[in-house]
Amino acid sequence: MLTAKQHELICFIHDRLAETGVSPSFEEMKDALDLKSKSGVHRLISALEERAFIRRLPNRARALEVLRMPERPTPHRKGVARIVSKAEIARTMPEPANDVLEIPLHGRIAAGVPIEAIEGQSSLSVPAALLGNGDHYALEVAGDSMVEAGILDGDYALIRRTETARDGEIVVALIEDSEATLKYFRREGAMIRLDPANRAYDPQRYAPAQVRVQGRLAGLLRRYD
Q: What is the pLDDT of residues 131-156, one digit of tens each?
A: 777 888 888 888 898 999 999 988 99
- Whether residue 138 contacts residue 221, with contact meaning beta carbons closer than 8 Å, is answered with yes
Percentage of the chain lying above the pLDDT 90 cut: 24
**145 has catalytic annotation:** yes
Say whether pLDDT at 115 is over 50.
no
**Interval 179-190: pLDDT, tens:** 889 999 999 999
Q: Which distant-in-sequence residues (6+ apart) come within 8 Å of 213 by Cβ?
A: 162, 163, 164, 165, 171, 172, 173, 174, 185
Q: How much is the pTM? A: 0.54
Pairing relationship of beta strands 136-142 and 100-110 according to DSSP bridges: parallel
DSSP string, 152-207: -TT-EEEEE--S---TT-EEEEEETTTEEEEEEEEEETTEEEEE-SSTTS--EEE-
**Interval 150-180: pLDDT, tens:** 999 889 999 999 999 999 999 999 898 888 8
Looking at residue 91, what is its pLDDT?
Answer: 54
**25 has catalytic annotation:** no
- Whether residue 160 contacts residue 215, with contact meaning beta carbons closer than 8 Å, is answered with yes
User: Cα(158)–Cα(208) distance, rounded to whole angstroms?
Assistant: 24
Looking at residue 176, what is its pLDDT?
Answer: 87
- Whether residue 54 contacts residue 130, with contact meaning beta carbons closer than 8 Å, is answered with no
Beta bridge partners of 138: 105, 158
Residue 157 CA, distance from chain mean position: 11
Domains identified in the chain and CATH numbers: 4-92 (1.10.10.10), 100-221 (2.10.109.10)
Q: Which one of the listed residues 23, 25, 30, 145 is annotated catalytic?
A: 145
Calculate mean pLDDT across residues 70-86. Answer: 52
